Structure 1
Amino acid sequence: MSKIPTTVITGFLGAGKTTLVRHLLAHAPRGKRIALIINEFGDIGVDKAILAGCGDETCREEDMIELSNGCICCTVAEDFIPTMQALLARPDKFDHIVIETSGLALPQPLIRAFNWPEIKAQVTVDAVVTVADAAALAEGRFAADEAAIDRLRQSDDMLDHETPLGELFEDQLMAADLVILNKTDLIDSVTLGKVEASLRAEMRPGTGLIHAHNGHVDIAALLGLGLGSEADIANRPSHHELEHGGEAHEHDDFDSFSLRLPAVAGKDELLAAIETTIRTHDVLRLKGFAAIPGAGARLAIQAVGPRLTTYFDRPWNDGEVCETALVVIGESPLDHAAITASLQRAMTVVA
């Protein structure tokens, strides 16, 4: 019996992993059954909520599994292996499995887990895909190029202190079989060339690189590559694993928390509050949904550094609680109380 191919999708905070998965599920070949494992941050299932329904024939909602107990690279034995065993035990077999890691996940321990006896006989890594944010890299954010980061230190308070972000980004590139340089429509061709050259300097020889915007890529470039990446793990070294004797470990450098609010004064007040809070408290990533007075649909929110995007993704369902639910991610320690108070004051929460 042939092994079930698994695509591991990694990439830094806000690079566009969920958008890519949404595109994949919506355009996968008809008749192909896909299981999706999502490594979410916080107790609010933002990513699953965005993906649910976008590929009903390919990936039903019951085939989407969230792992929210922490970074998947640190919970392989506790969460990932049992989840895979449960999927493989189902009577209706899958044609493909897709894993969307969190933005802080080290791919190497996850790839190594595919050599565990519990799953090795039935599953293989089709390919490791790393999504990179072209616009963020052009600004010197989350880049492996230390010189580019140093040039922006004077204008970006978030980069004024020691940060593991560069090493983490390098590890994600080193693990990749394919790098998708996303959001290329946000920068000019000259800048894009410089960003691509910087990426290639950190990639393993032979790693593919393709351009994309809004996560739109040819599905044939994502599925069915058949690379068996778990057999090549020795050639994908990690800064973190080398420093810790090959052991995965918790990322104490990062912190996240969730908050819920019953209502906000309006969309403008909400966006202004988020922008102020991000600047004041060095928030790396903020995402979630909001209930806007007078709007019959929920407002999806995605913030990466200073870039904030919103859109109404779907109407509120009958009986669904209309509330604002946000996940905040940043370098540890985040001041949970101060951030929550900042959002509450600026948004003028109404009872």
Structure 2
Amino acid sequence: MKKVPITIITGFLGVGKTTLIHNMLKNANGKRIAVLVNEFGEVGVDGELIKSGCGDDECNLIELANGCICCTVQEEFLPSMIELIERKDEIDHIVIETSGLAMPKPLVRAVNWPDLKPHITIDAVITVVDAVGLATGEICDREKVQAQRLADDSLDHETPIEELFLDQLTCADLILMSKRDLVDDQKFEDIKTIISGKARSSAKIIPVIKGELDNDLLLGIGAYAEDDLDNRHSIHEHHHDHGHDHEHDESIETIVLEYGSVKDIKSLVKDLKAMVEDQEIYRIKGFVHIEGKPMRMILQGVGSRFDYYFDKPWADNEEPKTRLVVIGRNVSSLELV
């Protein structure tokens, strides 16, 4: 019985996973790709952007909101995969976008479950890494992390974000260095050396600009990762094996800033940058309604870097308004003035 290949796309918040999948669907060339999106938050920004990559074709999309499928695999992942398996004659490939706060190995392990293993296989785990974020220390400031560890005798392992980053690297078959065009050649080579030292020796590292990469490089890798679990080290699972319970950091939250139209996108971005400077915010992403404009604007911010562009007219069933999903630490009281 032919198994449906699965590509797991992981990476920290804001690295470009959704843009990559959007381009994969735009360039599917007849390949029937189903997508499962695990978003951190109830507003389906990523799902909506992925749908726009399907064009006029029907989009095989399943969205899991508010679920860290690294720890709720049975409750969230299994029913969704069974739903896709029931339609596997209509599907050539499945792509799973994990949330930026999820670890990939539990998903790889779950494919060995009796209900799933006869039907699916992991074609590859792809980890997307933000070259700019690594260059500036926005994602993992290693010197700061080390200083914190040395100053606190109670710490016996890396901080959660560093742990997450390492788990995503050590599970990857392919590592994509996004935003290559924003980093000079020497800095890129320095970052690549760091990544190579932490990743599996067999993992390939490829630079990417604006999420554009030929699907021939992304699909059909044939890693069969579910049969190679022992070579994919996980700090997360190591803690469980040694009796350390895994608890999510309850101070990491997601909120939605929602209001009407915006007169000037540059003024909005200025206000958002000021908010980022005062708070520990990992990502801002959503839709913006520019006053008097029929087109919907997409906005995303990581650190002090913000991108925005018009993607399509507001749909007839959409209310034109601004909705921004903010993910960060202790952000529940945030307001945009």
TM-score between both structures, scaled by the size of structure 1 = 0.87
Counterpart for residue 154 of structure 1 = none
What SS does the corresponding residue of 1:117 show, helix, strand or coil? coil
In 2, distance between residues paired with 1:268 and 1:178? 36
Q: Where does 1:171-210 land on structure 2 (aligned, <5 Å)?
A: 171-210=167-206
Residues 295-350 of structure 1, C-alpha deviation per residue, up to 9 Å, x if partnerless? 1111111011111111111111224201111111113xx1312x12xx0x2xxxxx
1:270 to 258, 268, 288: 268
In structure 2, relative to structure 1, the CA distance for the partners of 1:179 and 1:91 (3 Å cut) is: closer
Counterpart for residue 255 of structure 1 = 253
State the Cα distance separating 1:282 from its structure 2 match.
1.7
Counterpart for residue 309 of structure 1 = 307
User: Within the alignment, does 1:53 sit opposite 2:52 as a pair?
Assistant: yes
In 1, distance between residues paired with 2:246 and 2:108? 15
State the Cα distance separating 1:192 from its structure 2 match.
0.6
State the Cα distance separating 1:208 from its structure 2 match.
0.8
In 1, distance between residues paired with 2:217 and 2:88? 29
2:332 to 326, 330, 336: 336
Residues 74-102 of structure 1, C-alpha deviation per residue, up to 9 Å, x if partnerless? 22100100000011112743110000111
Give the length in aligned residue pairs.
325
In 2, distance between residues paired with 1:93 and 1:315? 30
Q: Where does 1:119-130 land on structure 2 (aligned, <5 Å)?
A: 119-130=116-127
Q: Is the 8 A contact 1:283 1:328 kept in 2?
A: yes
What SS does the corresponding residue of 2:233 show, helix, strand or coil? coil
1:245 to 241, 246, 249: 241
In 2, distance between residues paired with 1:262 and 1:18? 25
Q: Is the 8 A contact 1:130 1:173 kept in 2?
A: yes
State the Cα distance separating 1:150 from its structure 2 match.
6.7
State the Cα distance separating 1:269 from its structure 2 match.
2.9
Q: Where does 1:120-159 land on structure 2 (aligned, <5 Å)?
A: 120-143=117-140, 146-147=142-143
> Which residue identity lines up with residue 315 of structure 2 in the other structure?
N
User: Within the alignment, does 1:22 sit opposite 2:22 as a pair?
Assistant: yes
Q: Is the 8 A contact 2:8 2:96 kept in 1?
A: yes
State the Cα distance separating 1:31 from its structure 2 match.
2.4
In structure 2, relative to structure 1, the CA distance for the partners of 1:245 and 1:255 (3 Å cut) is: farther
Give the % identical residues.
44
Q: Is the 8 A contact 1:140 1:148 kept in 2?
A: no
TM-score between both structures, scaled by the size of structure 2 = 0.91
What SS does the corresponding residue of 1:12 show, helix, strand or coil? coil
Q: Is the 8 A contact 2:4 2:88 kept in 1?
A: no
Counterpart for residue 155 of structure 1 = none
In 2, distance between residues paired with 1:171 and 1:190? 26
State the Cα distance separating 1:264 from its structure 2 match.
3.5
Counterpart for residue 89 of structure 1 = 86
In 2, distance between residues paired with 1:243 and 1:149? 19
State the Cα distance separating 1:248 from its structure 2 match.
8.7
In structure 2, relative to structure 1, the CA distance for the partners of 1:53 and 1:248 (3 Å cut) is: farther
In 1, distance between residues paired with 2:208 and 2:197? 20
RMSD, matched Cα? 2.0
Q: Is the 8 A contact 2:282 2:328 kept in 1?
A: yes
Unaligned runs of 5+ in 2: 148-157
> Which residue identity lines up with residue 90 of structure 1 in the other structure?
R
Counterpart for residue 43 of structure 1 = 42
More deviation, 3-12/226-235: 226-235
